[in-house]
């Protein structure tokens, strides 16, 4: 198709160089939300990945409809295929899918000038991109549906469906699911009973039909049990006196005490982990009522259908007898609730001045509320039960849905560790390590499940001037794994004197207590917007060997410094040195570190994961082209195998390459390059 070359040019720019895309801002919040979910729950791998527009976004029962497949939904409502292409690195690439299920076209071909052929060009581009990254993955095209509200587009929808079917028929790894025909009545008009009131999106009957259509195409699990990650609801609040994602409702004469109206209070005097807990303080009275709910950050919804139990820690300064306990129940994202359970069934008393673990089997709710949507859970409610003769107060902390009782998946050097360097005013809630002492931090780290790792982080050489709060409020691209509270501040130092402040050549951080048999990989973010010079920071990580990476913090919104596969030294220690890079042009040689993710692995990865550099590499007519660059280059495949070393001539180097994705390394940076 004549526009296919253009489509590949666009995707090369979109996915690998992050050129400006006019629809980017529309989806940044949603894309960052996906990254936040992954930061909390872990990145799922080998999934059956659903991507596309609102038809998939609104499929709230997706996981329960396909229990034999490891499904993950990364659709975003209102999207077009070009949006999906642009955010490929965020919604497809991280999950190493076994199968990608695609629904787009509804929006591409309605109210636009795009033709069916042009839409098919985008479909093929996405298909080839998936095939290059994941050559063993299967792909399922889902036909555009016949929505009654869009009958004016039926002709172009049917043309696009035919193009997708014909293309899928050519390849064994591509399937085509016809949803159009089954959604028509015998007279070939849309069956309106399958749609909601807007006659665009489907109702429950529509999704029930789609379940029967898609199920035969979906890959099922291998028979081995899939690991299920724990889900943390609360471990720390972003406010000192109240928890924002919460709600309290009281009917007098009952009382529920709060520091801020309609919000559960936080308390810094009692906590199990972190610095705060939630305060449940009430007095239940006859003819009165109260209820209070708690949710995770940003009111994120969770799938607990495969969870075993709800776990939390509970504390009271003075003993609380079970007769004074409230009810507990859970609420879905649509406002439906389970039956209430008596907290006294699971705890006979809250002993004085002792943190006590409370566990409630999810099956107890399932037995009472089998039709509740456990794949779409938003809040945990406490509510009035018995009448109290005196005020009651207790504190709860570390609220987690557990995959298995007592599951400590991150204990001692496994999983991931998340670190926010910076101000005490912009700490990151959840299972994050907030490092705010820029001169002498000395703290044991927790992992992303909230489990103590036995690893100690120390600031061995201080960042003299401490921290700033001049980072960015929202990260994109590769950096979207970090929330705004982590990207908005930094530790910083300066290699030269800064006014009357002497030079601070390096800030040094040590990690000790590491497992000497395991590999540690690092993703580092820093940002200092509103500067016009180069604020390149060089990060040197030393364990049993030394590796380096650089990152220009000036106006950085999406890039990371990445160093993979470092074994600790013989003492179980890794040292991170931060200093100005050779390209740093600031007079004071400012350098920064704002956030870091440490991933701990049993085996070495083959090559440092590349970050997007400050240049674009293109492949045209057998030549690699790099604008405004003269010098040596090295070309590797994605596994790190060196394919060629060349000298450029006027920014060009001749090299014969087959179709695929390559890494082009210069003396300063590196970039991904697509050959098609």
pLDDT for residue 449 is more than 80 = no
pLDDT for residue 252 is more than 90 = yes
On whether the CB atoms of residues 426 and 488 are closer than 8 A, the answer is: yes
HEC states along 64-109? HHCCCCCEEECCCCCCCHHHHHHCHHHHCHHHCCCEEEEECCCCCC
pLDDT at 649: 74
Mean pLDDT across the stretch 483-498? 89
Instruction: Say which residue, 149 or 564, is predicted with more confidence.
Output: 149
pLDDT for residue 170 is more than 70 = yes
Confidence of residue 36 (pLDDT cuts 50, 70, 90): confident
On whether the CB atoms of residues 393 and 343 are closer than 8 A, the answer is: no
Note the pLDDT tens digit of each residue in 382-393. 999 999 999 999
pLDDT at 604: 53
Confidence of residue 68 (pLDDT cuts 50, 70, 90): confident
Mean pLDDT across the stretch 502-530? 89
- Residue 82 neighbours by CB under 8 Å, 6+ apart: 10, 14, 23, 108, 122
Distance separating alpha carbons of residues 11 and 366, to the nearest angstrom: 45
Element (H, E) at 197: none
Confidence of residue 225 (pLDDT cuts 50, 70, 90): very low
Instruction: Say which residue, 250 or 469, is predicted with more confidence.
Output: 250
pLDDT at 392: 96
Instruction: Say which residue, 674 or 113, is predicted with more confidence.
Output: 113
DSSP class of residue 190?
B
Mean pLDDT across the stretch 70-94? 91
Cis peptide before 30 (omega within 30 of 0): no
- Residue 223 neighbours by CB under 8 Å, 6+ apart: none
pLDDT for residue 612 is more than 60 = no
Confidence of residue 638 (pLDDT cuts 50, 70, 90): low
pLDDT at 608: 40
Instruction: Say which residue, 413 or 468, is predicted with more confidence.
Output: 468
pLDDT at 628: 66
pLDDT at 2: 38
pLDDT for residue 509 is more than 50 = yes
Instruction: Say which residue, 30 or 611, is predicted with more confidence.
Output: 30
Element (H, E) at 367: helix 362-368
pLDDT at 616: 66
- CB pairs under 8 A, 24+ apart, for 259-264? 264/292, 264/294
pLDDT for residue 199 is more than 90 = yes
pLDDT at 306: 82
pLDDT at 583: 93
pLDDT at 598: 92
Torsion of Cα atoms, 15 then 17 then 20 then 26, to 10°: 30
On whether the CB atoms of residues 32 and 474 are closer than 8 A, the answer is: yes
Residue among 226, 296, 233, 289 nearest 66 (CA): 226
pLDDT at 571: 83
Distance separating alpha carbons of residues 380 and 331, to the nearest angstrom: 6
The two structure tokens encoding residue 37: 């979910």
pLDDT at 564: 84
pLDDT at 668: 59
pLDDT for residue 327 is more than 70 = yes
Pick the range with the lowest mean pLDDT from 64-78, 224-238, 469-483, 549-563.
224-238
Domains of the chain (ranges; CATH) run 4-217 (3.40.50.1110), 231-402 (2.60.120.260), 415-601 (2.60.120), 617-675 (no CATH)
Residue among 648, 640, 531 nearest 592 (CA): 531
Note the pLDDT tens digit of each residue in 267-276. 888 888 778 8
Distance of CA 288 to the CA centre of its chain: 42
pLDDT for residue 641 is more than 70 = no
DSSP class of residue 337?
B
Distance separating alpha carbons of residues 573 and 456, to the nearest angstrom: 9
Check: pTM over 0.85? Answer yes or no.
no
Q: 154-168 and 116-133 helices cross at what angle (nearest 10)?
A: 30
Mean pLDDT across the stretch 114-128? 91
pLDDT for residue 555 is more than 70 = yes
* Tally of residues, the chain: 676
On whether the CB atoms of residues 328 and 360 are closer than 8 A, the answer is: yes
Distance separating alpha carbons of residues 360 and 17, to the nearest angstrom: 48
| Mean pLDDT (the chain, rounded) | 85
pLDDT for residue 50 is more than 90 = yes
Residue among 545, 543, 462 nearest 505 (CA): 462
pLDDT at 415: 62
pLDDT for residue 176 is more than 60 = yes
User: What percentage of the chain has pLDDT greater than the value 70?
Assistant: 89
Confidence of residue 470 (pLDDT cuts 50, 70, 90): confident
Pick the range with the lowest mean pLDDT from 280-284, 409-413, 629-633.
409-413
pLDDT at 620: 76
pLDDT at 184: 94
Instruction: Say which residue, 61 or 657, is predicted with more confidence.
Output: 61
């Amino acid at each position: 198709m004549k526009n296919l070359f253009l489509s590949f040019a666009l995707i090369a720019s979109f996915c690998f160089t992050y050129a400006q895309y006019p629809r980017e801002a529309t989806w940044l919040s949603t894309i960052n939300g996906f990254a936040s979910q992954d930061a909390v729950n872990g990145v799922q791998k080998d999934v059956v990945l659903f991507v596309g527009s609102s038809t998939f976004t609104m499929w709230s029962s997706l996981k329960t409809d396909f229990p034999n497949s490891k499904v993950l939904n990364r659709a975003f409502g209102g999207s077009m295929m070009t949006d999906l292409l642009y955010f490929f690195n965020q919604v497809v690439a991280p999950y190493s899918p076994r199968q990608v299920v695609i629904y787009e076209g509804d929006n591409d071909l309605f109210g636009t000038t795009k033709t069916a052929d042009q839409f098919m060009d985008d479909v093929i581009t996405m298909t080839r991109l998936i095939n290059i990254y994941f050559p063993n993955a299967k792909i399922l095209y889902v036909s555009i549906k016949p929505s009654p509200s869009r009958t004016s587009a039926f002709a172009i929808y049917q043309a696009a469906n035919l193009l997708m079917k014909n293309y899928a028929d050519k390849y064994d790894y591509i399937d085509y699911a016809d949803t159009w025909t089954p959604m028509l009545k015998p007279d070939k008009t849309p069956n309106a009973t399958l749609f909601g009131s807007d006659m665009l999106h489907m109702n429950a009957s529509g999704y029930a039909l789609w379940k029967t259509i898609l199920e035969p195409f979906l890959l099922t699990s291998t028979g081995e049990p899939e690991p299920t990650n724990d889900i943390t609801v609360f471990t720390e609040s972003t406010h000192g006196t109240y928890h924002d994602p919460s709600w309290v409702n009281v009917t007098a004469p009952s009382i529920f005490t709060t520091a801020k109206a309609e919000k559960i209070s936080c308390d810094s005097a009692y906590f199990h982990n972190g610095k705060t807990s939630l305060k449940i303080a009430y007095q239940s009275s006859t003819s009165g009522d109260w209820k209070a709910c708690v949710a995770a950050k940003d009111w994120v919804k969770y799938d607990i259908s495969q969870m075993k139990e709800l776990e939390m820690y509970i504390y009271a300064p003075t003993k609380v007898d079970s007769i004074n306990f409230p009810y507990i129940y859970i609420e879905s994202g649509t406002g439906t609730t389970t039956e209430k359970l008596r907290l006294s069934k699971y705890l006979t008393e809250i002993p004085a001045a002792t943190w006590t673990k409370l566990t409630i089997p999810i099956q107890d709710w399932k037995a009472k509320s089998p039709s509740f949507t456990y794949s779409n859970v938003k809040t945990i409610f406490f509510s009035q039960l018995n009448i109290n003769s005196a005020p009651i107060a207790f504190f709860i902390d570390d609220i987690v849905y557990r995959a298995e009782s007592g599951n400590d998946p991150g204990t001692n050097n496994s999983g991931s560790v998340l670190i926010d360097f910076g101000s005490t005013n912009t700490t990151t809630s959840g299972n994050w390590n907030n490092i705010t002492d820029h001169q002498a931090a000395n703290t044991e780290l927790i992992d992303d499940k909230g489990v103590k790792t036995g690893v100690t982080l120390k600031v061995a050489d201080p960042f003299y001037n401490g921290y700033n709060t001049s980072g960015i409020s929202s990260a994109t691209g590769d950096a979207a794994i970090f929330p705004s509270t982590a990207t908005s501040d930094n530790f910083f130092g300066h290699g030269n004197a800064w006014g009357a402040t002497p030079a601070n050549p390096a800030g040094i951080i040590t990690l000790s207590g590491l497992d000497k048999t395991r590999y540690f990989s690092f993703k580092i973010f820093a940002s200092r917007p509103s500067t016009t010079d180069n604020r390149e920071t060089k990060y040197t990580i030393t364990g049993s060997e030394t590796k380096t990476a650089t990152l220009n913090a000036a106006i950085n919104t999406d890039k990371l410094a990445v160093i993979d596969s470092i074994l600790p030294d013989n003492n179980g220690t890794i040292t991170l040195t931060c200093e100005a890079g050779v390209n740093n042009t600031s007079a004071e040689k400012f350098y920064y570190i704002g956030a870091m993710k440490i991933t701990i692995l049993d085996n070495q990865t083959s090559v440092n994961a590349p970050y997007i550099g400050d240049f674009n590499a293109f492949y045209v007519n057998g030549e690699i082209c790099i604008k405004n660059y003269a010098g040596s280059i090295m070309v590797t495949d994605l596994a790190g195998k060196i394919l060629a070393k060349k000298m450029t001539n006027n920014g060009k180097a001749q090299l014969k390459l087959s179709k695929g994705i390559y890494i082009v390394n210069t003396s300063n940076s590196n970039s991904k390059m697509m050959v098609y």
